[in-house]
């Protein structure tokens, strides 16, 4: 008899999965021991505490046996965790937010790829550069952190100003379009009034009456 399996995908916080949504409601209908699965997930993800981890629960619907496939957090999340930071640099290539040792880079490569081969280490290094994290240059002094924070706030203010200008421009275009539509409507209204006035003039009325008489004569 072929094995009947059903898969449940979820994203949990490392080491803190629970029977609450999304896992509980998805696993309940399968008749499995939910707490047993939750405990197994937490054991496998405990090293990723504080990070979101993708997990896949594959359940044999006949025997209720299960197996787990645990994904890995993004390299950026692993780097931030190692440095105990919330975010990377907002100005890549200008400010640095932290520094890793070469051994820490290898550690992150092993956590992400299961290997610290040169190609994996280089991928982590590339992610570090994009986040404003240096390698082997020493810890970031308080003064440098202060400058980086000020630079970050300046960039955020400039972005807000750009957004405000874009919104004002969009609003101006909407007003212009509305005024143009109103002007066209008034022009059409004037054209209609002129046509009505022309039709009601004595000359036009006389010609219309004469035409009607001609048609009546022809139909006799």
In 3-state terms, what secondary structure has residue 55? Answer: strand
Helix (H, G, I), strand (E, B) or coil at 66: strand
Q: In angstroms, rounded to a whole number, what is the distance separating the alpha carbons of residues 93 and 113?
A: 26
Taking a C-beta distance cutoff of 8 angstroms, is the pair 82, 108 a contact? yes
Domain 5-70 and domain 75-140 have a common topology: no
User: Which run of H or E residues covers position 50?
Assistant: none
**Pick from 79, 73, 144: which is nearest to 106 by CA?**
79
Give 5-70's CATH code, choosing from 3.40.50.720, 3.30.1550.10, 1.20.20.10, 3.30.1330.60. Answer: 3.30.1550.10
For 19-51, what is each residue's pLDDT tens digit? 999 999 999 999 999 999 999 999 999 988 888
d(CA 164, CA 158): 10
Domain boundaries, the chain: 5-70, 75-140, 141-220
d(CA 131, CA 181): 49
pTM to 2 decimal places: 0.54
The string of pLDDT tens digits covering residues 150-207 is: 666 666 676 777 887 878 787 777 777 777 777 777 777 666 666 665 556 666 566 6
Half-sphere exposure of 196 (CA within 13 A, CB side): 6
Please name which of 136, 139, 126 lies closest in space to residue 98, comparing C-alpha atoms.
139
Helix (H, G, I), strand (E, B) or coil at 85: coil
Q: What is the pLDDT of residue 195?
A: 60
Which distant-in-sequence residues (6+ apart) come within 8 Å of 27 by Cβ? 8, 34, 37, 57, 59
For 193, the token pair is 């009034």
pLDDT (mean) for 132-141 = 88
| pLDDT score at 71 | 92
**Domain 75-140 adopts which CATH fold?**
Arc Repressor Mutant, subunit A (1.10.10)
By three-state DSSP, how is residue 200 classified?
coil
């Amino acid at each position: 008899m072929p094995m009947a399996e059903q898969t449940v995908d979820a994203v949990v916080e490392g080491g803190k999965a629970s029977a609450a949504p999304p896992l509980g409601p998805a696993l309940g209908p399968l008749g499995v021991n939910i707490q047993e699965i939750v405990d197994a997930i937490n054991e496998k993800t405990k090293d990723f505490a504080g990070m979101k981890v993708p997990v896949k629960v594959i359940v044999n619907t006949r025997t209720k046996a299960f197996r787990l496939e645990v994904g890995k957090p993004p390299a950026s999340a692993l780097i931030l965790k190692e440095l105990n930071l919330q975010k990377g640099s907002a100005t890549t290539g200008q400010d640095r937010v932290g520094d890793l040792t070469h051994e820490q880079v290898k550690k992150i490569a092993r956590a992400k790829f299961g290997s610290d081969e040169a190609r994996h280490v280089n991928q982590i290094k590339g992610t570090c550069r994009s986040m404003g994290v240096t390698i082997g240059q020493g810890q970031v002094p308080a003064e440098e952190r202060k400058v980086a924070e000020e630079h970050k706030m300046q960039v955020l203010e400039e972005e807000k100003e750009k957004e405000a200008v874009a919104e004002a421009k969009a609003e101006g275009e909407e007003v212009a379009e509305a005024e143009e539509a109103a002007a066209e409507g008034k022009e059409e209204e004037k054209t209609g009034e002129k046509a009505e006035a022309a039709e009601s003039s004595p000359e036009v009325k006389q010609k219309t009456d004469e035409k009607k008489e001609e048609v009546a004569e022809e139909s006799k």
